[in-house]
Structure 1
Amino acid sequence: MADVVMKVDDLDGTPIPPDGGGSVSFGFLGRHFEIDLSNAHEEELAKLLAPYIEKAREVATPAVPLGETDRARAQLLQAEAQRNLAAGRKPYDTVAAREWLQEQGIDFNQMGPLKKEFREIYERHYGLPAYDTAPQHPTKG
């Protein structure tokens, strides 16, 4: 029996039919985000952002330099992971890990949190700290 994968609207938890919405990516304050939205919520977001987009300058996505290897990507991801950990955040975004796993043809359940075994494949490949790694803050007692 085949697994059925269905996206769910991240705002209200309702199922998104195959032709009824999808993933929306956006950036704000130097960070990049992705959210799954129904068509209605996509339109709502577009209306909210319209006045800002109208006044904003579109910036081209920087081109990846020719010849950049996986090693260079690993160095970038490792540096970002260290900055994230220092700021008390998770070392990397699991959205990127999911995309990489899909590109590698690794079959994983797309619903719910990314399982540890799949995070570890991504972490080993790029030499990243464990996703569960977080700064330990001593408790005051």
Structure 2
Amino acid sequence: MAKRITEILVDDIDGTEIAAGAGGTVKFSFEGVNYEIDLTDEHVKEMREALSPYLVVARKTGNTPRSASRASARVGTGGTSNVKAMRTWLRAQGLEVSDRGRIPAALIAQYETAH
């Protein structure tokens, strides 16, 4: 027995079915929040026209959103793999270091110099 599953993309504005190869999902960011919306070609055009006066004068930051997994993989360790040991050593030296998050570069440098 064969199954055929059909996914139908509909416009989030008016519920119109979006034909294959037309319109689609538009991704954008505003005030630090990422959004996506499914639109027909007509609504994509309207959105571009509405945003055009702002985009023409806006500065591109060159930054792309990072996934949570990539961001968490590089949390302030300076390449040091044993963050727990680093925090323990820094505290033993009388230095203040948080339980979570990024360890300041100056503290990482002290740890790496000592080890």
Task: Provide TM-score, normalisation by structure 1.
Answer: 0.45
Report the counterpart of residue 43 of structure 2 in structure 1: 41
Report the counterpart of residue 72 of structure 2 in structure 1: 72
Count of aligned residue pairs for this structure pair: 71
Cα distance change of structure 1 residues 10 and 72 upon mapping to structure 2, 3 Å threshold: same
Pairing 1:11-22 to 2, within 5 Å after superposition: 11-22=13-24
Q: Which has the larger radius of gyration?
A: 2
CA distance in 1, matches of 2:29, 2:71: 26
Pairing 1:76-87 to 2, within 5 Å after superposition: none
> Any stretches of 5+ residues in structure 1 without a counterpart?
76-141
Q: CA RMSD in A?
A: 2.6
Choose between structure 1 and 2 for higher RCO, CA contacts under 8 A separated by at least 6 residues: 1
Report the counterpart of residue 112 of structure 1 in structure 2: none
**Paired AA for residue 24 in structure 1:** V
Deviant stretches of 4+, over 2 Å = 61-64, 68-73
Task: Provide TM-score, normalisation by structure 2.
Answer: 0.54
CA distance in 2, matches of 1:29, 1:69: 22
Q: Percent identity?
A: 34
Please report how far the alpha carbon of residue 61 of structure 1 lies from its aligned counterpart in structure 2 after TM superposition: 2.4
Report the counterpart of residue 78 of structure 2 in structure 1: none
CA distance in 1, matches of 2:71, 2:48: 38
For residues 73-113 of structure 1, what are the alpha-carbon distances to aligned partners after superposition, in whole Å with 9 as ceiling and x for unaligned? 6x9xxxxxxxxxxxxxxxxxxxxxxxxxxxxxxxxxxxxxx
Please report how far the alpha carbon of residue 72 of structure 1 lies from its aligned counterpart in structure 2 after TM superposition: 2.4
